[in-house]
A and B are shown apart, each in its own frame.
Chain A
Amino acid sequence: MATLAAEPRRGQPAAPRRSRGRRVGRNLARTAPLLPAVVLLALFLLGPIIYSLFGSLTNRALTGPRAADPQFVGLDNYLTLLGNDNFWKSVVLTIVFVVASALIGQNVLGMGLALMMSKAPSGVSRVISALVVTAWVLPEIVAAFALYAFFASQGTLNIVLSWLGLDGPMWLVTFPMLAVILANVWRGTAFSMMVYSAALAEVPPDVSEAAEIDGANVFQRFFRITLPMIRRSISTNLMLTTLQTLGVFTLIWVMTAGGPGVESSTLPILAYQEAFKFMQVGYGTAIATVTLLLGAMFSIVYIKVLKPEVDS
């Protein structure tokens, strides 16, 4: 990477420095191609973020007088938010959802699949891999319908349980969080599986074999040798799956709509409900801002992990 970055500098026509004006002009001409991207990003990404920070300080509503003339209310929305049980519940649910489905579920299952696929006959691996990846390539809403059907009270899961003589609960009502967590694992594991398969393929087998000769068992070899060797893939993958899961909306919305009550309302769902169902845009914006800040915190950690790539 370093050489690639250095090349262009050498490659540029060696323009003698004639005048300041000309240099400024040249720099403007060089940066001009950035313009369309910068305008789009500023208008549609930076704009809403600034709007989010500002809008959360008003009592703006979707309809009525407060829609036409929103008042500046300072930190009122945030203070209300802090005193709102639903908000705290939502924060806890979001953390549970992210930790259980992304950090644990997708990563452990993804790693397990990658490991087993390196052992099993290639035909079996290929078929299973295709199934897992299909679940991930499908549009999110289609996956959500498929899983809704799976967990519905007359759905496949309960039919199978009844064959075994068990009386399955109404998963989406009794254990809504469990259902959406498993659904997100079903949908998202393919990504971790592919990242870990690629990482494991890079691990030279001789190191592990040497340890085997020295008497290390399977678990020792995995935890002492393989895991440390692919730790960068692991940290990157943990970060990406976390951020991805933090933003999940469609899956939960289709399966439970955040219900029953607010039993499965993670932050994106709560923000949507407050803003569009209860028409409290300012309040909904405050929730959105909290989620954005949460995402920003994760992003900063992520950027620290990837830092060398930017500097190259």
Chain B
Amino acid sequence: MSAVPAAQVAATTPPSADARNVTRGGRRFTTASPRGRTSRLISTVVLLAIGVVFLVPLGWILLASVNGAATVSVSWPQMFTLDNFVQIATWETTFRPLWNSAILSFGCAIVTVVASVLAAYPLSRYQLRFRRSFMYGILFGTCLPITAMMVPVYALFVSLRLLDNVWGTMFFLAATSLPMAIWMTKNFMDSIPVSLEEAAWVDGASSMTALRRIVVPLMRPGIAVVFIFVFTQAWGNFFVPFVLLQSAQNQPAAVAIYGFFGTYGTVNYGQLAAFSIMYSLPVLVLYLVVQRVSGSSFAMAGAVKG
């Protein structure tokens, strides 16, 4: 999970389709040779084969969800049915877990974005003596494998009496996403020229007023990217709520879905697949939104620097 932040940042950095097309276009003209055509054919065939391997498990989820008699293997449903969706469409089974996920993820994303915008301001605007060591510490924090920390975190939550507490879990999730969020936010903020704030300073505005009135509105796309990235990460997190939230009414969808899998009895694969789709849709949609918001190398600023 540690570098998932880093990993998911690339959610914001789809390979720039335009750039690739230009290069490809250029190459197509320069090497319109038989050899070029052969490598094109080979690439296409191999890519299609790999595509099938990636498609099959995804196809299983889609097909099983509309199959009244779904099994573990991919099969074309004898009869299409929405029964699986109807069966799970109850408050206890589906909507409460999804609602819990929404609260947990929104809360986490709001806390993270507010804290990281505030923290990024002094780091970006002032020459602080400890800035370098702080940034190193943050970078170090982005790398820690959080999954390895869950045992001590559990022990800590027991002594703080925060076990099975949604707020405690939300703040913990926020803390785990903060290092990457601060790093990204600071980079977005660095790209906004300070000269715009100078006018406000001259007019006697405090730095916080300048931040609220000038910097934040200008970096709205950057903030949206950070927000969606943190939200997605919290939404998909299974292990943290699995360890920290025990009662059924607090559990988010990631943990509830594990119940379908049940360690006892038979698994209803159709319902499992239907729930998977309901649970995955929001993040798939958000991913497309991020691509729209920052469909350029702009978003790369916060993340992987190669």
Contacts and interface: CB of A to CB of B under 8 A. Distances in A.
Interface of A: 1, 4-5, 7-9, 11-13, 27, 30-31, 33-38, 40-41, 43-45, 47-49, 51-52, 55, 60, 109, 113-122, 124-129, 131-135, 137-143, 145-150, 152, 154-156, 158-159, 186, 188, 191, 194-195, 197-199, 201, 205, 209, 218, 230, 232-234, 236-237, 240-241, 243-244, 246-250, 253-254, 267-268, 271-272, 275-276, 281, 284-285, 287-288, 291-292, 294-296, 298-300, 302-303, 306, 309-311
A11 B198 contact: yes
Give the one of B10, B136, B257, B261 with max A CB within 10 A.
Answer: B10
B151 A275 contact: yes
A243 B170 CA distance: 24
Contacts of B23: 118, 201, 205
B165 to A, nearest CB: 13
Contacts of B193: 7
Interface string B165-176: 000000110111
B122 A128 contact: no
Contact of A295 (B60, B145, B178, B207): B145
13 contacts: A8-B125, A37-B178, A141-B238, A148-B72, A149-B64, A154-B71, A237-B306, A244-B4, A247-B145, A250-B239, A281-B154, A299-B140, A303-B136
B16 A240 contact: no
A34 to B, nearest CB: 5
B82 interface: no
Interface string B137-181: 001110111111111111110000000000000011011101100
B239 A137 contact: no
Contacts of B47: 113, 116-117, 120, 124-125, 128
B258 A246 contact: no
A209 B26 CA distance: 11
A135 B73 CA distance: 18
Interface string B100-111: 000000000001
Given A11-B194, A140-B236, A205 B44 contact: no
Contacts of B273: 145
Contacts of B17: 126
B238 A285 contact: no
A40 B132 contact: no
B293 interface: no
A36 B114 contact: yes
Contacts of A1: 190
A146 B58 contact: yes
Q: Which are the 8 A-B pairs with shortest beta-carbon distances?
A: A233-B306, A44-B175, A247-B145, A299-B143, A197-B15, A291-B148, A139-B236, A52-B152
Contacts of A143: 57
Contact of A195 (B10, B126, B148, B201): B10
B300 interface: yes
A158 B226 CA distance: 42
A194 B6 CA distance: 13
A310 B136 contact: yes
Contacts of A12: 125-126
B43 A120 contact: yes
A184 to B, nearest CB: 12
Contact of B116 (A37, A122, A253, A288): A37
Contacts of B32: none
Contact of B121 (A33, A218, A267): A33
B201 A44 contact: no
B178 A4 contact: no
B24 A122 contact: yes
B272 interface: yes
Given A146-B61, A281-B155, A306-B305, A119 B40 contact: yes
Given A135-B57, A240-B6, 17 more contacts: A11-B198, A31-B128, A40-B178, A43-B175, A45-B175, A139-B235, A145-B61, A149-B64, A150-B56, A156-B74, A186-B54, A198-B306, A243-B3, A285-B152, A287-B151, A310-B136, A311-B132
Given A194-B15, A240-B3, A37 B182 contact: yes
Contacts of B135: 310
A281 B153 CA distance: 11
Interface string B120-135: 0111111110001011
B119 A37 contact: yes
A111 to B, nearest CB: 13
Contacts of B46: 116
Contact of B145 (A113, A234, A243): A243
A236 B304 contact: yes
Contacts of B174: 40, 44
B139 to A, nearest CB: 6
Contacts of B178: 37, 40-41, 45
B171 A209 contact: no
A124 B44 CA distance: 7
B254 interface: yes
